[in-house]
Structure 1
Amino acid sequence: MPVPHLSAALRGPVLDLENRINNARPSIEHWLRGKWRECSIPFYCSVDLRNSGFKLAPVDTNLFPGGFNNLNPEFFPLCVQAVMTAVEKICPDAHSILLIPENHTRNTFYLQNVASIQTIMQHAGLNVRIGSLIPEIKSATVFNLPDGQSITLEPVVRKNNHLCVDGFDPCAVLLNNDLSNGIPEILQDLNQTIIPPLRAGWATRRKSEHFKAYNTVADEFAELIGIDPWLINPYFTSCGKIDFREKQGEDCVAKSSDKILAVIREKYREYGVKEDPFVIVKADSGTYGMGIMTVKDGEEVYQLNRKQRNKMAVVKEGVLVTNVLVQEGVYTFENINQAVAEPVIYMIDHYVVGGFYRVHTGRGMDENLNAPGMHFVPISFEPDCLLPSGTQQQGLMPQRYYVYGVVARLAMLAAALELRPTAG
């Protein structure tokens, strides 16, 4: 599969950053190997990156990735090998796994993702059945998919603190359901390995906690290769007790936005960046690009109309937004066929297994691209993209993909630190 036609700024600090990362490859890989030994690595994750031409940073880390169907099929064998490694660590006795997806049966593209996960795990030598938490699914139900495949969803049954489906008693449960609406009773207090752990779900997880952990990782990595950590790390803060409909908590959001904008402005002056700084205000938990807005002046928070307030007030499954992350906005200067694009990198265990560009023809380079109208272009990790030779001309796409993989793994390391069980 050819590399998508991609244009991006190959100049300034990010090109310098790419050079530093590529030149420090032995030190980086040695450092990461040590980190993987110290912590439990998430089973899988995806990381949204933004490349502004002067900064490359993660802006979101999803521990229940839903786009395996968008990956380059050439990397299917790498996914299989990574799953084998991950299963050996988490559940070495595993031979059968129950996969529990989201309740999105109307979203057949999401179901293609579920089918991809099932196929990858089957090729890794596992028996895999798909269990649904949807009350209406009372018997095995077949869903036909846009690509000609089909998958079968079966009702989940709980027996003796074990989850199973008809005639299938798995030794582990793999969640591809992010628990946005809380942890269902059927998943609580199980005598079964649950992957990822329930605390990874949006019922308890907070993006602000993830980026606190990422601060620690980014600072240590920046010291390792001798860079300003800001080049890989967006500023952020968080606000609680928010009710956009009732205008509660908006003072915190407006003041926090202005405070971060002022700090970014200083950094832009330091690096000679001419663009206007902006922040992204988004729900502190949840996915699917809901509850997000771009702010260039704190006053804008007070000026939201009713439609905008309603849009910010709820996220997936109608969950009310009561906490928000106020995060430095990172421009994306990458585009494919004149449409704004951002890379999304996928990992299983600590291996980069592929990625794609999220592309949106109707959005600007300072806007959230995870919105209706987006489409996906698989990234082709050419043979030496993950481990490019040091003799290649700097700035070539294989070098850039390696850098993407490094920064994405930093975000995965932050997720591992974030999910460490608390004492007691």
Structure 2
Amino acid sequence: MIPHLVSAENGPVLELEQRILEAQPAIERWFRLEWMEHSPPFYASVDLRNGGFKLAPVDTNLFPGGWNNLSDEMLPLAVQAAMAAIEKICPEAKGLLLIPEKHTRNTFYLENLARLTQIFHQAGLKVHVGTVDEAITEPTSVQLPNGDSLLLEPLVRGKRRLGTKDFDPCTILLNNDLSSGVPASLEGLYEQYVLPPLHAGWTTRRKTTHFKSYDDVVKRFAKLIGVDPWMLNPYFAHCGNIDFHERQGEDCLADAVDTVLGKVRKKYKEYGIHEKPFVAVKADAGTYGMGVMMVHDASEVKDLNRKTRNKMSVVKEGMEVRDVIIQEGIPSIERLQEAVCEPVVYMMDRYVVGGFYRVHAERGPSENLNSPGMHFVPLAFDEQFNVTHPDAKPGTNGPNRFYMYGVIARLALVAASYELERTDPETETI
């Protein structure tokens, strides 16, 4: 399935697709060399926005929670990638402990856990789901909408190891982004692999750090294929010491908004783009589309009403917002059945294993689609994403379009590997 693209036949993104297809051998070699020097995150998902004049990532999640939204056709890719990832880290592994969020009532999230359990079971591992939810004190079976069930077990912490009753795994996989902090049970586990590492969680991770790394990556990649890096990269700025309730940091925020909008206006003028520029002001840490507002003018961030201040001041798990990223907004021209959508690409190890469209019928092309009312449509192609058709007309071939999505998503994955190396508390340098 490929969305209806409201763009000219010779639009910049279609030209970008052609460039990427023509450079496929060089691109794949470039990625191979990167992975010889850097380790990819264990898994990740990347939200992309296609404005017709540019295609860029706007968010990279290192604890992806929508595996249930991938099509069944993509499952073999995920299993193969899981095998490769586990073999690199703990080839003798027999068991894997999956630690989820506390969303015991969110059936969509539970289906995500069931899909992850299925993937790693088929990769040859015994999988237990151990929860940090203190309310679960004994093994608890939860029914899923499709009739299956999922067993949630309380964690059992030893001196140096973590498991469940009678289950002592080699590897611990977090599907919990640590927004509320690192549980004591996860600290000091020097005899087990914890994936992703604890410093990948939102307790310490910042979006601006990620996009600084992405800047470095995309400049080199854009030179490789001969395009303006801006076509693949949103401008951004950072503001700290924000307190939306007390209206602290408004001047910094207004100046940053004005600066980013000014840079975008220059690019729009350079390329003859007639859209109205906007920025997304986001909490610098956090997920689930919380703590986000779209701004078209610096004056909009002054004297915010109480509802907006409340929305921006606290994100998931009650985490207070003190830092924000001001990111160039990219209007989405992609549509499914007339509803605005954006592609989300899923990866495990260094492999693209699937994706879906986040679709929102009640939101416009310049709005946040990661909000209540959204739904998901799997990227379901007849062929694998890397089976491209270079002779096909740009914008008309599903695998070609998905391959382009995958290339941009993998650039964000490389950036995440740089980011994790630079922020590793055991190797960080001044």
TM range (shorter): over 0.9
In the alignment, structure 1 segments of 5+ residues that lack a partner are none
Cα drift, residue 299 of structure 1: 0.4
Q: Which position in structure 1 is the counterpart of 2:70?
A: 71
Counterpart residue identity of residue 74, structure 2: F
Q: Which position in structure 1 is the counterpart of 2:400?
A: 399
Counterpart residue identity of residue 338, structure 2: Q
Structure 1 counterpart of 2:5, from 1, 4, 7? 7
Runs of 4+ displaced beyond 4 Å: none
In structure 2, what is the Cα distance between the partners aligned to 1:375 and 1:393?
29
In structure 2, what is the Cα distance between the partners aligned to 1:242 and 1:335?
36
Counterpart residue identity of residue 378, structure 1: P
In structure 2, what is the Cα distance between the partners aligned to 1:8 and 1:28?
27
In structure 2, what is the Cα distance between the partners aligned to 1:17 and 1:5?
17
Partners of 2:82 and 2:349 within 8 A in 1:
yes
Partners of 1:97 and 1:173 within 8 A in 2:
yes
In the alignment, structure 2 segments of 5+ residues that lack a partner are none
Q: Equivalent residues in 2 for 1:252-271 (5 A)?
A: 252-271=252-271
Q: RMSD of the alignment, in Å?
A: 1.1
Cα drift, residue 381 of structure 1: 2.9
**TM-score scaled by length of structure 1:** 0.98
Q: Which position in structure 1 is the counterpart of 2:110?
A: 111
In structure 2, what is the Cα distance between the partners aligned to 1:140 and 1:384?
39
Partners of 1:354 and 1:381 within 8 A in 2:
no
CA offsets, 1:282-333, max 9 Å, x none?
A: 0001100000000000100013100110000000011110000000001100
Q: Which position in structure 1 is the counterpart of 2:133?
A: 134
In structure 2, what is the Cα distance between the partners aligned to 1:381 and 1:298?
42
Counterpart residue identity of residue 6, structure 1: H
Q: Which position in structure 2 is the counterpart of 1:169?
A: 168
Q: Which position in structure 1 is the counterpart of 2:366?
A: 366
Q: Equivalent residues in 2 for 1:19-418 (5 A)?
A: 19-191=18-190, 192-383=192-383, 385-396=385-396, 397-418=398-419
CA offsets, 1:114-153, max 9 Å, x none?
A: 1100010000000100000000100000111112211000
Partners of 1:143 and 1:152 within 8 A in 2:
yes
Partners of 1:4 and 1:377 within 8 A in 2:
no
Partners of 2:182 and 2:203 within 8 A in 1:
yes
SS at match of 2:357: strand
Partners of 2:3 and 2:334 within 8 A in 1:
no
In structure 2, what is the Cα distance between the partners aligned to 1:199 and 1:149?
34
SS at match of 1:419: helix
Partners of 1:141 and 1:152 within 8 A in 2:
yes
How many residues align? The count is 422
Counterpart residue identity of residue 242, structure 1: I
In structure 2, what is the Cα distance between the partners aligned to 1:286 and 1:384?
32
Partners of 1:282 and 1:324 within 8 A in 2:
yes
Counterpart residue identity of residue 121, structure 2: Q
CA offsets, 1:172-205, max 9 Å, x none?
A: 1000000001111111111211000001000000
Cα drift, residue 5 of structure 1: 5.0
SS at match of 1:377: strand
Partners of 1:7 and 1:336 within 8 A in 2:
no
In structure 2, what is the Cα distance between the partners aligned to 1:399 and 1:412?
20
